[in-house]
Amino acid sequence: MNFYRNLFAVICFAFFLAAITTKSPFAFLVAMVCGALSRTAEKKGWSDPFKNDPP
């Protein structure tokens, strides 16, 4: 469950740093969307794509 949360969190922070350095409104928007996806993955409990549990 942590894969998507961590993935979108890293992308969020990367775009947030890019937005601060370039002052681009689109980078801020992408950072907010990735932050929202990170929280959604946590709340909805999206399963890890590489999990090897038997059915």
Take residue 51 and report the two structure tokens written for it. Answer: 């999990």
Looking at residue 50, the DSSP 8-state letter turns out to be T
Q: Is the pLDDT of residue 3 over 80?
A: yes
Burial of residue 52 (number of CB atoms within 10 Å: 0-12, 13-18, 19+): exposed
Rounded Cα distance, 18 and 2, in Å: 24
State pTM to two decimals: 0.81
Integer distance in angstroms from the first to the last C-alpha of the chain?
16
| pLDDT per position as a tens digit, 20-39 | 999 999 999 999 999 999 99
